[in-house]
Amino acid sequence: MVRNSKVITSQKAKEIDIKAQQAFGISGLLLMENAARQIAEEAVKMLAKDKKVAIFCGKGNNAGDGFAAARHLLVKGIKPLIFLAGKKQEVKNEAKVNLDILLKLKQKIIEVKEGDWKKVKNIILKYPLIIDALLGIGLSGEVRGLFREIIPMVNSLKVPVLSVDIPSGLDANNGKVLGCCVRADKTVTFVAIKRGMTVANGPKYCGKVVVKDLGIPL
C-alpha cells in the first residue's frame, strides 16, 4: 500500500542526495543519522512486548542506515541481533563509521558467509521483527551470491519485516524482482516514493510504505 506522495526515480534520489551534500553542506553521515532515527521509530511501532530485533545488513549505505538504526534501538532499550552479509573490513565510508561505533559499544556483529544461514535460522525465529538493510535503490542487476541465500530465507521465516528505503531485490525504477526480493510488511523510504514501489511487483513486495524526510528541501 502506497500513500499519496511525490514519486521519483533512483537517479533523482541520488541527485537529491548529492545536492544535499554539495550544495547545502549536509554530510552523508548526517543524512544516514536522520534515516536511522526514522527506521528505529518505525521499528518500535511494529514491536509488542518482546523488545528485540534481528537486523540483516549488507555492506553499502543501506547497511549503514541499519547499523545506525541499531544504535538508536539500543538507546530505546531494544536489543538488536546484527547479521553482516560479508566481512567487517569490507564495509566502507559512512557505513563503516556506524559499524565502528557499534563495535566500540561492544555490540556483537555476526559475519556470515554462504551456507551459514541454515545454522542461524532457528535463532532468528525467536525475534519478532526483522529489519532488511541488505540492498538499496542502487541495485540494477540480478541478486547474486550470499544475498541470493539470505532473501529467500528471510521470506520463509514468516517473521514481520521492515525494509530500509526499498525491499532488497526490488528494482527501484520498474518494480521488477531482480531474481529474488524481500517481501516486506512495511517499507520506510526517504524523501519520496521510488517509482518501482508503485508499478509491477512493487506494491506486493513493499507492504505499507511510509515516507520520511531526511531534512532535505526538495
102-129: average pLDDT: 88
132 within domain boundaries: yes
169 within domain boundaries: yes
2 within domain boundaries: no
72 within domain boundaries: yes
44 within domain boundaries: yes
148-176: average pLDDT: 96
Distance CA 168, CA 172 (A): 10
128-146: average pLDDT: 95
- Enter the pTM of the model: 0.95
Q: Report the number of distinct structural domains present in the chain.
A: 1
**28 grid coordinates:** 552523508
CA 67 vs CA 77, 78, 203: distances in Å: 16, 14, 26
Q: In sequence order, what E strands does 146-212 have?
A: 161-164, 186-190, 193-194, 208-212
Distance CA 128, CA 162 (A): 11
What is the model's pLDDT at position 70?
98
CA 21 vs CA 51, 52, 194: distances in Å: 35, 34, 20
What is the model's pLDDT at position 158?
87
21-33: average pLDDT: 93
- % of the chain beyond a pLDDT of 90: 84
The residue type found at 87 is: K
DSSP, res 168:
T
What is the model's pLDDT at position 4?
47
The residue among 82, 87, 131 whose CA lies nearest residue 102 is: 82
43-49: average pLDDT: 91
191 within domain boundaries: yes
The residue among 135, 83, 131, 139 whose CA lies nearest residue 107 is: 83
What is the model's pLDDT at position 218?
64
- % of the chain beyond a pLDDT of 70: 97
181 within domain boundaries: yes
Which domain covers residue 149, as residue numbers? 7-212
For every residue of 89-127, DSSP letters joined together read GG--HHHHHHHHHHHHTT--EEEE-TT-HHHHHHHHTT-
Q: Give the position of cell 506486493.
A: 204
168 within domain boundaries: yes
User: What is the domain-level CATH number for residue 176?
Assistant: 3.40.50.10260
What is the model's pLDDT at position 1?
45
pLDDT per residue as tens digits for the range 3-17: 446 899 999 999 999
99-124: average pLDDT: 89
